[in-house]
């Protein structure tokens, strides 16, 4: 893939992220309203798509500071992230090698392939537990035809623990 094509794809992804944020949270903030849970869900889902890569973990403490229920935030965050995982997997599965490989990049693809083949479910759990690019990992898992049930189970476990720890830590530090 040529450098020009990569730049165009990167700019398109960035533009999509800016538009998405502007039409949801940005619009609500400009109008003086608190961001809604609907905006939270849309942005969180989009952030878990491998071609956008938004730092969505930062939304949880922010929404918690607005008074939203921690349990509701965990349910929405984990639910939208889990719904995005099969999308990433399917794109990787259906487009193995082609444009998906180009979007991820050769080095990132090789690293994730190595980790996934060597450590499997542990890597899936750890990538979902931390703010690493778990969405990219799920696309690579699709390319490698990794066991879908394992991907979903260990993603769910990692995400649940991550968001639970974030809520507890934010509550302990700030509230």
pLDDT at 46: 85
Please identify every stretch of the chain with a pLDDT value under 50, giving residue numbers as ranges. none
pLDDT at 26: 57
pLDDT at 154: 96
- What is the pTM (predicted TM-score) of this model? 0.76
pLDDT digits (tens, 9 = 90+) for 146-171: 999 999 999 999 999 999 998 998 87
pLDDT at 29: 56
pLDDT at 86: 94
pLDDT at 5: 54
97-105 contact pairs (CB < 8 A, 24+): 97/143, 100/139, 100/142, 100/143, 101/143, 102/1, 102/5, 102/6, 102/9, 103/9, 103/50, 103/51, 104/50, 104/136, 104/139, 104/140
pLDDT at 47: 85
DSSP 58: G
pLDDT at 113: 76
pLDDT at 104: 65
pLDDT at 116: 79
What percent of the chain has a predicted confidence (pLDDT) above 90? 31
pLDDT at 18: 60
């Amino acid at each position: 893939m040529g450098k020009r094509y990569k730049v165009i794809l990167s700019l398109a992804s960035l533009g999509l992220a800016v538009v998405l944020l502007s039409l949801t949270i940005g619009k609500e903030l400009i109008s003086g309203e608190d961001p809604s849970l609907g905006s939270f869900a849309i942005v969180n889902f989009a952030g878990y798509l491998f071609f956008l890569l938004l730092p969505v973990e930062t939304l949880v403490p922010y929404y918690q500071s607005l008074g939203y229920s921690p349990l509701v935030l965990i349910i929405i965050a984990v639910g939208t992230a889990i719904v995005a995982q099969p999308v990433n997997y399917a794109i990787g599965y259906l487009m193995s090698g082609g444009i998906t490989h180009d979007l991820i990049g050769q080095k990132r693809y090789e690293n994730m392939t190595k980790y996934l083949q060597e450590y499997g479910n542990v890597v899936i759990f750890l990538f979902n537990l931390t703010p690493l690019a778990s969405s990219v990992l799920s696309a690579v898992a699709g390319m490698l035809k990794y066991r879908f049930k394992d991907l979903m189970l260990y993603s769910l476990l990692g995400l649940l623990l991550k968001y639970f720890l974030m809520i507890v830590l934010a509550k302990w530090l700030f509230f």
